[in-house]
Structure 1
Amino acid sequence: MQVLQNTKIDFVGKRKIGYIISAALIVVGLVSLVFHGGPTLGIDFTGGTSLDLSFENDITASELRTSLADIGFGDAEIKRIGLTEASEFIIRVEKTEEGTEAGQIIEDELSKDFPDNPYEIRSILDVGPKIGGELARAAILAILVSLLGILIYISWRFEFKFAAGAVIALFHDVIITLGIFSLLNLEISLAVVAAFLTIVGYSLNDTIVVYDRIRENLKNLRRETFTTIVNTSLNQTLSRTVITSFTTLIVVVVLYFFGGEVIHNFSFALIVGVVIGTYSSLFVASPVVLEWYTRTDTKKGKGPVLRKSR
């Protein structure tokens, strides 16, 4: 399918507008993070207990919350799983200060309050504060290592300035997505961290496609300025970018609405990431390379010297 063919959009000329939009989103997100004292972390990172319970008869989340409130867990996170006839829920509570086993306390209370509605315990996950802290550090390390690996790989395949542009765009995507989560007070879990890494991979793929086209055009359009080559490359890959992003967005939107409450935050992160990643591949990654080239190589009287395709 061919759409948006032979476009002549001046992406390069509009890059400063893109910078302003990006800066505004980042600042708002950072202010929100500071105001909230950092991102809202799930029990994967703070410690707590998660129970997967399947009831034989229908039961509502409000009934469960009322029962849990009697034992001091009124602020528990309760999410229904799937659309099956059986009522299956994920119940998450923070670690108790007394160090008692929250899972056993909840089981006893539910058995007492709903004697005519037996339930099956599918799984119980108990995460201590120490383990939660280690997981948080591991999650941050995973993202930083992935960005470092990308920097090295693209420097080898293209040039360092291209690698820097890609990493800045990826950092931009993650920070904005994290800021939106903070604004909406959404919880960060291990699944959301996995979504962040997926965003990094998706956005990088779009950026690499544009970089490849820039490399081809540096050979085919030798008489054109680097600014024209970047703009031409962005327009030539626009159709592919829009189609890929649109089809991916359809999938993650369906996942958000029909995948159940448990993966809402995961799928929402992907929705935001696809939109922001597409935007950054057009208005951040390549324009950063252009800015670098304009401020350095132009003064030295030379242009990019890209390595051959690998």
Structure 2
Amino acid sequence: MWLVRYIPVETKFGFMRYRRWSFPFSAALSILCVAAFFALGMNFGIDFRGGTLVELQSREGPANIGEIRDEANGLGFGQVEVQQFGTPLDVSLRVQVQEARDGLTEEEVQQVVVQTLRDTFEDDYVFRRVEVVGPRVSGELVQSGTLGVVFAIFGVLVYLWFRFEWHFAVGAVIATLHDLVLTIGFFAITQIEFNMTSIAAILTILGYSLNDTVVVYDRIRETLRKYKRLTVYQVLDVAINATLSRTILTGVTTFLALVALAILGGEVIKGFAYAMIFGLVVGTYSSVFIAAPILIYLGVRPASEIAQAEEAARVQAAE
């Protein structure tokens, strides 16, 4: 039990005094992320762009990137993206989506691409991963992924509207959109491949942030009823400090698991792990410095102020 003593239990940090800094800071970051999205764009993966993705591993010695690129571009499939990743032995090839030709459908042409690549490189390289996505499928994945994020945010609004008062629902949605914008900006700035795994990462980040926000909101609502003489600023500080040890424990354990995924998970899951680490930090930050203090501007008041306002209204009506 002595290890628990290293975790602060009864803290008295004044988080609300930093709201004048957190809101401009978050606004500046959000503007930067939106600008990066339109200026740099997303590094869409094979799921969204369509085409063929092949990962090779050299059987002997480091992979010869220049030779692979020359041979791949000479196959007649257009410009082939060749990149080294992981170790010097590993290389990835991305062939753009091919149109139907020679009486073959689009899907059949993609299979011809894979077979041609095998015939060209199989003697010197091991085919570790092959993904083929047609243009029709990639378009459906874009639509499904976008709808998934939109429905998730709408579900958050509906749930919190019934779970709490409208102030909390609006505050949680603003914090959720804040996390979404920053995460999209993270993908745009870092140019990490954006694929269906990234959509899963975004939805997981939103769920984690929402869970943290609901815990804070639940304690805020409880504290509003318990401490009737405190101002709303004091109530929010008390509630956040009361959940701080839980936030630290959850964040640290999740962070350690994600670091292990990023280091040991391999190239396929590395982007997911990096996005989750970023989302963990952003989600925790937004729960404390966005979702909580925004209640002040949305008009949340402690029970004492509500009672005084009601009494003043009754007196005025009696006069």
**What TM-score, normalized to structure 2?**
0.81
Residue of structure 2 in register with 1:126 after alignment:
133
Residue 53 of structure 1, CA deviation: 6.1
Superposed CA deviations along residues 10-38 of structure 1, whole A, max 9, x for unmatched, are 111111211111111111111111212x4
Letter in 2 for 1:279: Y
Alignment counterpart, residue 185 of structure 1, candidates 188, 191, 213: 191
1:110 to 1:15, Cα distance in 2 relative to 1, 3 A: same
Q: Which residue of 2 aligns with 1:284?
A: 290
Is 2:13 aligned against 1:6? no
Give the match's secondary structure for 2:184: helix
* Partner-residue secondary structure (3-state), 1:274: helix
Corresponding residue of 2:147: 141
Cα distance, 1:112 vs. partner?
3.5
Distance (Å, rounded) in 1 between the aligned partners of 2:128 and 2:271: 24
Q: Which amino acid aligns with 2:30?
A: I
Q: What corresponds to 1:105 in structure 2?
A: 113
Name the count of aligned residue pairs.
Answer: 293
**53 and 76 in structure 1: CA distance in 2 versus 1, 3 angstrom threshold:** closer
**Which runs of 5 or more structure 1 residues have no equivalent in the other structure?**
303-310
| 2:213 is equivalent to residue 210 of structure 1 | no
Matched residues in 2 for 1:233 and 1:173: separation?
Answer: 22
Q: How far is 1:107 from its partner?
A: 3.2
Counterpart for residue 254 of structure 2: 248
| CA distance 1:108–1:133, shift in 2 (3 Å) | closer
- Counterpart pick for 2:47 among 44, 58, 80: 44
* Correspondent of 1:60 among 40, 60, 63: 63
Residue by residue over 1:18-71, the C-alpha shift from the partner in whole angstroms, topping out at 9 and shown as x without a partner, is 1111111111111111212x4232221122123466777676373644542433
Tell me: CA distance 1:229–1:293, structure 2 relative to 1, closer, same or farther (3 Å): same
Shift of 1:127: 2.3
Which one of 127, 152, 159 corresponds to residue 158 of structure 2?
152
Equivalent position SS for 1:75: strand
Partners of 1:175 and 1:195 in 2: CA distance: 13
Distance 1:279 1:90 in 2: 36
5+ long unaligned stretches in structure 2: 311-319
Amino acid at match of 2:115: E
Q: State yes or no: 1:229 paired with 2:235.
A: yes
Give 1:133 shift: 2.0
Q: In structure 2, which of residues 165, 171, 180 is the aligned counterpart of residue 165 of structure 1?
A: 171
**What is the deviation of 1:125?**
2.4
Higher normalized helix content (fraction of residues): 2
Distance 2:91 2:269 in 1: 13
Partners of 2:118 and 2:79 lie apart in 1 by 12
The change in CA–CA distance for 1:138 and 1:233 in structure 2 (over 3 A counts) is: same
Q: What SS does the corresponding residue of 2:292 show, helix, strand or coil? A: helix
**Identical aligned pairs, as a percentage?**
34
Contact 1:79/1:91, CA 8 A, preserved across alignment: no
| RMSD of Structure 2 on Structure 1 (CA) | 2.9
Q: Secondary structure at the match of 2:10?
A: coil
Cα distance in structure 2, aligned partners of 1:272 and 1:248:
12
What displacement does 1:189 show? 0.4
Partner of 1:305: none
Which TM-score applies when normalising by structure 1? 0.83
Which residue of structure 1 aligns with residue 314 of structure 2?
Answer: none
The answer (yes or no) to whether the contact 1:32–1:183 under 8 Å persists in 2 is: yes
Instruction: State which structure, 1 or 2, has the greater radius of gyration over its C-alpha atoms.
Output: 2
Displacement of 1:106:
4.5
Q: Against the structure 1 CA distance between its residues 230 and 242, is the aligned structure 2 distance closer, same or farther, given a 3 Å change threshold?
A: same
